[in-house]
Amino acid sequence: MMKFKRADFPAGFLFGAATSSYQIEGHAQGGAGRTHWDDFADTPGNVIRAENGDLACDHYTRFESDFDLLKDAGFDAYRFSTSWARVMPDGTTVNPDGLDYYDRLTDALLERGLKPCATLYHWELPSALNDLGGWRNRDIAKWFGEFTETIMGRIGDRMYSVAPINEPWCVGWLSHFLGHHAPGLRDIRATARAMHHVLLAHGTAIQAMRGLGMNNLGGVFNFEWATPADDSPAAIKAAELYDGYYNRWFLGGVFKKEYPANVLEGLGPHMPNGWQDDFDVIGQPLDWCGLNYYTRKVIAPNTDPWPSHQEVPGPLPKTQMGWEIYPQGLEDFLTRTAAEYTGDLPLYVTENGMASTSGTDDQDRIAYLNDHLQAVQNALSKGAPVKGYITWSLMDNYEWALGYEKRFGLLHVDFKTLQRTPKASYHALKQMLALKD
Ligand code: FCB
């Protein structure tokens, strides 16, 4: 059981569940173009069993019944994403079926009284744009602006909220420095460019949407708390650098129009010409800030070249992902973000949840959700303006390089029959959301 009721949260506090297009839709359907995730998955060694998003959860044809389950649970909002390659298969030419699909999906949400919270880009870059350099190419900001105008020109009138890019850190660092996600590069120069262009594209999309007269626009950033492995100055410095390129780079760029000095020490020499002149675009005023939070990392220095540190195993209980369960980090990020970056701006938890092997009797997930909602409560009582909590994920799905075996859903998905079965966590949240006083 959840230990909260809806009435424990401020009036108007939104509860929702999240998904993303490539992870659930079934990307081989509906005339979507090839993406850099398809290329990455087709290259042996990148993705477990070389699995891809061709069919995924077949949400493309099943979205109506999925939304019935979302509504039956009592959720207020649904966070989803729009696939660039579905709307523009080669990155620039429009696929009318793709636009029609998101139009129908939007209306299906509204018919059920669910607030559509869109993310424009959750990682499925059209391969044709990756051929041109993808996130390394400054022109991506312009291309992304055009995609934004195309998709939001069609559905923007009915969105509750929109954020341009899910988790800029994953687009920049995880995909270009660590090579864990598409395009799978391990290249510091590519990283510096992607880390900057992803924010330039963010700001360009915000400008495009303001031009369409839209409001309630925000950004969705991911956060990991960095705990030094010990109290030596070297470990503290290492953790500060992790915090710098993971968390502070993006908040700094968007809300302070500057990047952290400790990160520029390493990335500075590789930045594209004229990056200092881009902050007026990057720092476009926002209406809210979204935080995705799952875990922390314990960081120790090492003798590698910059950033000269590594993650070391921590002592806390872990999820199926091997991620430590550390709810304190969520409380600390909510209060720190408000105190240092966003002030009174509404904050939303836009992703939080756990992967588990426990099947439909997922008591571990219920405990995780309780602990993290407690962290939200603590942040609220310290004055952080938290306005909503969106859990990851509505259903088990394609967990990127880890394929289909990491299960984050409130709904169990049988990937042979594609049948959905509500888990105990779904029922527990449903019960919580029904308790209005
Ligand atoms: C986040 C991603 C989401 C999912 C969860 C587990 O980083 O936004 O797509 O993979 O992690």
pLDDT tens per residue across all 437 residues of the chain: 999 999 999 999 999 999 999 999 999 999 999 999 999 999 999 999 999 999 999 999 999 999 999 999 999 999 999 999 999 999 999 999 999 999 999 999 999 999 999 999 999 999 999 999 999 999 999 999 999 999 999 999 999 999 999 999 999 999 999 999 999 999 999 999 999 999 999 999 999 999 999 999 999 999 999 999 999 999 999 999 999 999 999 999 999 999 999 999 999 999 999 999 999 999 999 999 999 999 999 999 999 999 999 999 999 999 999 999 999 999 999 999 999 999 999 999 999 999 999 999 999 999 999 999 999 999 999 999 999 999 999 999 999 999 999 999 999 999 999 999 999 999 999 999 998 87
- Ligand 1 within 6 A of CB of 400: yes
Residue whose CA is closest, atom 9 of ligand 1?
Answer: 20
CA of 50 relative to ligand 1 center, distance in Å: 18
Measured from the CA of 222, which atom of ligand 1 is nearest?
Answer: 7
CA of 224 relative to ligand 1 center, distance in Å: 13
- Ligand 1 within 6 A of CB of 352: no
CB of 420 within 8 A of CB of 411? yes
CB of 337 within 8 A of CB of 349? no
Residue whose CA is closest, atom 4 of ligand 1?
Answer: 399
pLDDT at 240: 98
CB of 347 within 8 A of CB of 389? no
Measured from the CA of 400, which atom of ligand 1 is nearest?
Answer: 10
Measured from the CA of 399, which atom of ligand 1 is nearest?
Answer: 10
Best of 221, 293, 368, 392 for a ligand 1 pocket test (most atoms within 8 Å of beta carbon): 392
CA of 435 relative to ligand 1 center, distance in Å: 29
pLDDT at 207: 98
What is the C-alpha separation between 212 and 147, in angstroms, rounded? Answer: 13
Cis peptide preceding 272, ω within 30 of 0: no
Compute the Cα dihedral for 34, 38, 40, 42 and give only its sign.
negative
- Ligand 1 within 6 A of CB of 392: yes
- Ligand 1 within 6 A of CB of 127: no
In DSSP notation, 188-237 reads HHHHHHHHHHHHHHHHHHHHHHHHTT---BEEEEEEEEEEESSSSHHHHH
CB of 432 within 8 A of CB of 4? yes
The one-letter amino acid at 426: Y
Beta bridge partners of 297: 226
Active site residue: 51, 331, 351, 399, which one? Answer: 351
CA of 134 relative to ligand 1 center, distance in Å: 21
What is the C-alpha separation between 58 and 27, in angstroms, rounded? Answer: 9
Active site residue: 25, 167, 224, 331, which one? Answer: 167
At which residue do the structure tokens 């992703």 appear? 351
Beta-strand relationship, 288-301 and 347-351? parallel
CA of 179 relative to ligand 1 center, distance in Å: 16
Radius of gyration of the chain (CA): 20
pTM for the whole structure? 0.98
CA of 26 relative to ligand 1 center, distance in Å: 17
- Ligand 1 within 6 A of CB of 222: yes
- Would you call 349 helix, strand, or coil by DSSP? strand
Asked about 167 being catalytic, the answer comes back as yes
Domains for the chain: give ranges and CATH numbers. 6-434 (3.20.20.80)
Nearest to 273 by CA among 138, 152, 140: 138
Q: Which residues of 44-62 are buried (b: 16+ CB within 10 A; e: fewer)?
A: eebbeeebbbeebbbbbeb
Q: Which residues contact 86 (CB under 8 A, 6 or more apart)?
A: 21, 25, 27, 30, 31, 32, 33, 95, 98, 101, 102, 124
Asked about 149 being catalytic, the answer comes back as no
